[in-house]
A and B are shown apart, each in its own frame.
Chain A
Amino acid sequence: MDLTVREYQEGWESEIKSKLESQFSGKLTVTKTETRRVYAQVDRSVSKAVCQYLHDELSFEHCATVIGVDLGEAEQKMQVVYHIDNYTLYKGVVVELTVDVPYDDLHIETVSDIWGGANWHERETWELFGIVFDNHPRLERLLTPDTYEFFPFRKSYKLRGSQ
């Protein structure tokens, strides 16, 4: 990992875009770039490899969030969204990775061995959405009681008074 600190320059986003797309051609699409932001749609089979590449080759040291999104019955899938920050080589750049996870196979590889900070985010996403992070060291309930047998943030779980 190269930890040389560089100040922001224009064109970093397209540099990261071309590096990611050439490394994972066909499995990764950069959907949008903005100043200091790169948005990418990633195939589930390479999600871990992309994270490893970002960490090892591009010095993305910090995983800010792992987010679950339930797209509902119509789409029959959920999504896991990662936000990954850089402190050194591409200082201030955030890469957003979106990974689709179908309803009938809610599994995705954990990244908590790459970034320790992802550990609790993955636990939280599992307990609230039921997305299983394979090889996670400790997939236990964190915020809700251990007796819960449902996943409260899924769209199928309706709140009182909801429309």
Chain B
Amino acid sequence: MTDEKNTQIPDAQAIAEGAEVTKQMVEDYKANAIDMDKMWITMGPQHPFSHGLWTLKICADGEIVTDADPIVGYLHRGWEKEVENRTYPKIIPMADRLCYAASMTYTHLYCMTCEKALGIDIPEKTKYIRIVADEINRLQSHLMWMAAVGTDLGNYTAFLWCSREREYWMDMNVRLCGARSTTNYPRIGGVRNDVFDIDCDLPNEEDHSRFMRDLIRCCDHFDKALWDIIYLIDNNSTFVSRMVGNGIITREQCANLGITGPAARGTGVDYDARRDDPYDNYDKVDFDVPVIKTGDSYSRYMVRVEEMFQSTRIIRQAVQKIKALGRNAPYRLKVPANIPAGRTFCKLEDPRGESMMYLVSDGTDRPYRLKVRSPIFVNVSSSKALLEGCRIADVPVIMAMIDMCLGETDR
């Protein structure tokens, strides 16, 4: 027995209506399905890639990242407000706490700003000592970054080797100022102690520059050791293929978004404050500024590696200049406690980018307003431009190339 309904042939109008309904259904489904594919994923605040407390929310369409929204502020201490309550010398140890990986640059920047506001010129030797201290910090900061990149990309040996090399520079830090990371070394008008006579009570004149002798040895050792790390990373196709060709932004985008430092120089922005806006005695030492125009993660890695070689080059020259100036040259000036009313800003090339301080002084012994421009605060705000179109698996690599430091980001 056959069912009449099933055998009945529908008329043309019914077919057309049915087709219309089906088409509409498919379109609705497609529209909804695309919305359902998109998903916000929260990475952090406790996440292996984040290197500190911050959250990265990414919008993923399948495997592709379409939007990113970084959330910072977990470490906000109100640094800029806190310092308004303190006298100028008491802010020096606080400036150390802005960035734990390269504390010297921030203290240096703070002291430089105060000196500029006071209108004093610090002794020649101090300028070179500060260059040495800055470059030691740049090296250890870059090595810490390289170690972190190693763990992010699954190359644990790179982490161990970089940490080992970093210890030599940490030891130099300890000998110079007695602390590993929060150094508290520069002072307004100079530095805390001379580089001569460090841990030395021997009568022999040669021994008084032991620290500098060891610094040069460190440079000699490091120039070779860095090649080992480069071979380890660049000869590893897995490591390289994860960095090449992702996180690409153009030079114009990079300048517009305010990205600075090695991340910008890896995109073709030919600017380094040490060369183009020289402070202290950076115009009297000879060094190159590496610039790569590719603009991907690998070029940012290459820029940092090359910067490390340049740092040892700067240290060697600065040590020679310090030795030429001799033991008896002054290294610190006495400065007044009150800074005259006015406005001053200074900027400096931090290992992570361009950091800047803006001081409004009112003639008392406390700042009226002190603003810190943190390079990472701006670099991380451009996450969307960096991450758009990449795969979820590439997110840790791209964000690692910013070299996150939350102390300065949140202040």
CB nearest to B366 among chain A residues: A163
**When the two chains form their complex, are residues A116 and B382 in contact, meaning their CB atoms are under 8 A apart?**
yes
Q: What CA separation (Å) do A144 and B73 show in the bound complex?
A: 6
Indicate whether B381 reaches chain A with its CB closer than 8 angstroms.
Answer: yes
Q: A65-B373, A94-B277, A153-B81 are in contact. Are A143 and B256 (CB under 8 A)?
A: no
Is A152's CB within 8 Å of the partner chain B? yes
A91 and B271 form a contact (CB under 8 A):
yes
- Minimum CB–CB distance for B98 against chain A, Å: 14
Minimum CB distance partner of A154 in chain B: B81
- How many pairs of A and B residues are in contact by the CB < 8 Å rule? 91
> Is the beta-carbon distance between A115 and B256 smaller than 8 angstroms?
yes
Question: Which B residues are CB-close (under 8 A) to A136?
Answer: none
Residues of A with C-beta under 8 A to B252: 61
Contact of A87 among B82, B271, B347 (CB under 8 A): B271
Query: Which of chain B's residues have a CB closer than 8 A to the CB of A69?
Result: 360, 369
Tell me if A150 counts as interface (CB < 8 A to partner B): no
Q: Are B257 and A91 in contact (CB under 8 A)?
A: no
Question: Which residues in A have their C-beta under 8 angstroms from that of B271?
Answer: 85, 87, 91-92
> By the criterion CB–CB under 8 Å, are B378 and A162 in contact?
no
Q: Specify which chain A residues have a CB less than 8 angstroms from the CB of B371 in the assembled complex.
A: 65, 67
Main secondary structure of the interface of A (DSSP, over half): loop
- With an 8 Å Cβ cutoff, the count of chain B residues facing the other chain is 39
Task: State the CA gap A67–B381 with chains docked (Å).
Answer: 17
Count class of interface residues, chain A: 35 or more
Write the chain A residue with the least CB distance to B259: A117
A120 within 8 A of B: yes
- B385: chain A residues at CB < 8 Å are 116
- 13 CB-based A-B contacts, threshold 8 Å: A65-B373, A67-B358, A69-B360, A81-B358, A91-B271, A94-B345, A96-B345, A116-B257, A116-B382, A120-B381, A124-B377, A143-B72, A152-B81
Known: A91-B271, A92-B277. 8 other contacts (CB 8 A): A83-B358, A87-B255, A116-B257, A117-B258, A117-B259, A143-B72, A153-B78, A163-B85
| Chain A residues at the B interface, C-beta cutoff of 8 Å | 5, 8, 36, 61-65, 67, 69-70, 81, 83, 85, 87, 91-92, 94, 96, 115-121, 124, 142-144, 152-153, 157, 159, 161-163
